[in-house]
Structure 1
C-alpha cells in the first residue's frame, strides 16, 4: 500500500495549489476565495521509487463542531489519523496568525511527523519571509511557491526523508485494479451521505446546506468483490443557475469525474421524484458511454411507495432509451437501509458494460434481426446490410457493414440496438451502433 501524506493548514494558505503540484495534475479546485476545499481529496504520485497518497484537506478553523467550519476541521483531523506524514502549510507572505500558532501546538502533539511548509515564498525575499515560521517549533520550514513551482525539489527530498521505511511487500503494479465509480446527482440529493455509508465513516462533510461538496472527491474502499475507487461529485445544476465562478469550476470537475468513471450511480431524492435535471445528468452519463445505476434515496420517508416507484419507472422508460432497463435501488443513505443492495447492482451493471458477444452468436442474432425486420428503402433503393462485428466493450459497440449502410435511418438503428440489448441481456448500459457503407475497391484505381 502507498504511504499517506496529509496537507493541512488554515484556509487560503495555498494547500490545494501545493497538492496539485505534488500529484502532478490539477485535481483540487483552486481559487482566491477562502474555504474552497470542503472535503478531503486524494491523489497519487511516485517519488524516489515510493508510491505516495496525498490528501488535500479542508482548512483548519477554530469553530464549534456543529458548524460547517467545525465539520471541515473534523474532516481534516480524520485525515491526520490516516497519515504517515503531515505537511503543515503556512502563508509566508501574510505571516503567522494566531490560528497558525494554535494549530501548530496541536500538531506538536500529533502521533505522526510534521513537515512545516512556508508557501508563497517566491522571489528574493521569500526565504527571509519563511524564517518567521521557525517560531512554531516544528523544525526547519521548507520555503516553496506552489503557484510558481519554486522549491519543490527540496520539498520532495524533505518528504522522502520523513516517510517510514518502505514495506518490502509493497507492489506498485497491483493487478487488483479498482472499479471506477462516480456518485452523481442534483445538490442535496444525499450523495455525500451515501458515500459515508458505503465507507462506514464520516469521510464527507454533510449537512442540510445544499452544495456542501464543491470538488469531485475520490476515495477507495473494498466491497465483496474487490477494490472500488469512488468519486463523490459536486451537485450538477442547470446551466443557467451555474453563476458563481466556483460553481462553474465544480461542475467542470463533476463532468470530468463522470468521464473518468466506469459506472455512475445517479442519486435521486425519492421525495422529489426524478425531474428534468436528473434526466439531464443521466443523459450526460449515457453520452459519455457510462453505465448507470439509480439510487432512489430517502425511500424510508416515502408514504405511497407503489405509486412513487411507478412514476419513476415510467420516466425512465420514456426518457432514457439508451439505458433501457437501468437498475434502480430504493434505499436510505442516512439509515443505511437498502444500501447493501447498491454495490451488487453496480457490479452486475459493470459486467454488462464489459460484455463481449462471441462472433457466432453475434452473426446468428444479426441474421435473425434482418429476417424479422428487413432494412428499409432509402430514395427508392434497399439498404443491404452484410455483417456486423462488435468492435469493443465498455460500452458494447457494434459496427455494421453493407451497401448504403451509412444511410441507415435512426429508427432502424434503434431497432437493432434494442434487439441486441434484449437478446444478449444488456439492461442499463448504453450500446453504440456505427454503420459503414461498402465501397468498390477498384473505383479509384487507374485503368491499365
Structure 2
C-alpha cells in the first residue's frame, strides 16, 4: 500500500484569515475548502485539481501559519504548511493587502527563501483597481513577482495563475487516465474524537490529518490517494457528526453537512466507534445516514487497546452487543483496531475493497429470474388484502450497482407486506453472495413501457402508466443513487435526542 504523491503541485501558504481557502475554491472552481470569517478554520492540507490555459495541476490549501504559537494544533498547522512547501513546485504566498506587512509574513518569506522553492506573492483583498496600491508596501519584502488579487470577486486571477503555472511549461503532463478512471472512494465517518484522523494517518503512513484530544479537530474533509495492488483508492477523513443541540456553532454544523455530502459520494463507508463507549446513540445516528444511503459499511471498533482484562470471549460479547444496538447493520463486518498502536489497521483496505467488489457485482437477468423462481417456490406469495387473489410475480432484473439495485415486477406491489419484502432481500443477498452489503429491491407493477438504465420508466406516446407504477411507499429501497445525489445540505436534517451520547 503506497501513498500517491502529487506532481505539478501548487501550494497556498500564509498566516490565518488572509483568504487562502477563498482563493483555493476560486482556482479549483468548487467549494471544497471551508470559508469563514473566524481565523484558523482550515487545519489540514486540502488538495484539489485545477486547470489554467490548458495546464492541469494540483492545488494545496494549508492552515494559517503561526510559528510562535505553543498550541498543539497550531504547531501541527506549521508542520503541515512546511510539508506542503516541501512537496510543491510552486508556492503562492498569500497576504492581506488591507492589513499590510505582518511579522509572520516576514518570517514566512525567510523560510520560503531558505527552501529555495519557486514562489510568488499574492496580495489578496484588492477588490477595486484603487486597492492595487497595497502592492507597493509588500515590495519591501524584496520579491519581484507580486500580484494584486481579489479571490472573492475573481479579480486578477489570470496574471496570478500565469506566473504560478509558468514552471509547468516543460514538465510532464498529468495522465489523462487519472481523469478517466476515478478512484474507489472510502469515507471515514463517526462521532467526534473516536480516532478517525488517527486511522487515516496510519493508512497513509504519514501525518496527513491533524490529531488532537479535543473533539472537532477535523473541520474539512481531508482526502488521501492510495494504491493497493494496482487499485487506486481515495480515503476521506470527515468531520465528526453529533446531534444538532450539541453543535457548537454554524461552522460545526456546516462541517457536519459536508461530512454527510461526502458520504453520499463515497463507495464504501468506514464507521469508527470508540471501544470504551460501545455503540452510542450518536453512533447509531451516524450509521443511520450510511444505512439510508444504502452504502456498504465496515464497522471499525477503535481504541481496542484501552479495553482491559480481555479474554477469548471479549470480541464475541462486544460484537453481539453491537448487533443489538445496531440491529439494522447485522450484515456489516466488524474489525477491532487500535490506531495508536497500529493494531490491525492494515486489514481495513482489503475489507473495504471486498465490500466494494460485492457492491459492484452485476448479475444477468436470467440469473435474477432463476433466483426469483426459487424464492417463490420456498415461500408462496401472499394474498391480496381484502381480495381472493394472490399477488403475481412476473419477472425481475438488476438495474444498477453500488448498491446492487433490483426491480421485481408484480401485481399489487402496494399490498406487499414489509416482512415479505425483507424475505426477498435476505434471499437475494444469500443467493448472489451479497453477505456483507445492503441491496435495494423495488417492487413495481408491470407495464409495457421500457426501463432506462436507472430503472425508471421511459415516457412514450402511448400513454404508459409509468407514474402510477412507482411504489412511493417502498421507503429507502425506492431511491437510486442518482436520487440521493440530488440532495443538498439544506435537505439534510439532524435530529435531536433526549439521551446523551
TM-score of Structure 1 vs Structure 2, range by shorter chain: over 0.9
TM-score, scaled relative to structure 1: 0.94
Q: Which residue of 2 aligns with 1:389?
A: 397
Partner of 1:319: 326
Change beyond 3 A, Cα 1:370–1:177: same
Task: Number of aligned residue pairs: give it.
Answer: 442
- The alignment status of 1:358 with 2:364, answered yes or no, reads yes
Contact 2:188–2:271, Cα closer than 8 Å, also in 1: yes
CA distance in 1, matches of 2:342, 2:170: 39
Which of 31, 52, 61 is matched with 1:26 structurally?
31
Question: Which residue does the alignment assign to 2:3?
Answer: none
Say whether residues 1:271 and 2:276 are aligned partners.
yes
Note if 1:419 corresponds to 2:427: yes
Supply the distance in 1 between the matched residues of 2:437 and 2:68 (Cα, whole angstroms): 46
- Structure 1 stretches of 4+ with a deviation exceeding 4 A read none
SS at 1:125's partner residue? Answer: helix
Which segments of 5 or more consecutive residues in structure 2 lack a partner in the other structure?
1-5, 450-461, 465-501
Match of 1:161 among 124, 146, 166: 166
SS in 1 for 2:177: coil
C-alpha separation in 1, matches of 2:100 and 2:246: 38
Per the TM alignment, residue 246 of structure 1 is displaced from its structure 2 partner at its CA by 0.8
From 216, 225, 228, the counterpart of 2:221: 216
1:2-401 residue pairs with structure 2 within 5 A? Answer: 2-63=7-68, 67-163=72-168, 165-167=170-172, 170-174=174-178, 177-303=182-308, 304=310, 306-307=313-314, 309-316=316-323, 319-321=326-328, 323-377=329-383, 378-380=385-387, 381-401=389-409
CA deviation vs aligned residue, 1:105-141 (integer Å, no higher than 9, x gap): 1111123201110000111322101221111222231
| Conservation of the 8 A alpha-carbon contact between 1:404 and 1:438 | no
Q: Equivalents in 2 of 1:49, 1:7: separation in Å?
A: 21
Deviations along 1:163-205, whole A, 9 cap, x unmatched?
362216x422336542111111111110111111111111111
Moved more, 20-29 or 153-162: 153-162
SS at structure 2 position matched to 1:134: helix
- How far apart are the structure 1 equivalents of 2:176 and 2:171? 11
Post-superposition offset of 1:309: 4.2
Tell me if the contact between 1:273 and 1:308 (Cα under 8 Å) persists in the aligned partners: no
Aligned residue in 2 for 1:435: 443
Q: Equivalent residue of 2:198, what SS?
A: helix
Q: Could you tell me whether the CA contact under 8 Å between 1:330 and 1:338 is conserved in 2?
A: yes
CA RMSD of aligned residues (A): 2.0
| Partner SS for 1:203 | coil
Alignment partners' CA distance in 1, 2:68 and 2:228: 35
**Aligned residue for 2:418?**
410
Contact preservation (8 Å) 2:204, 2:224? no
| Further displaced range: 33-42 or 46-55 | 46-55
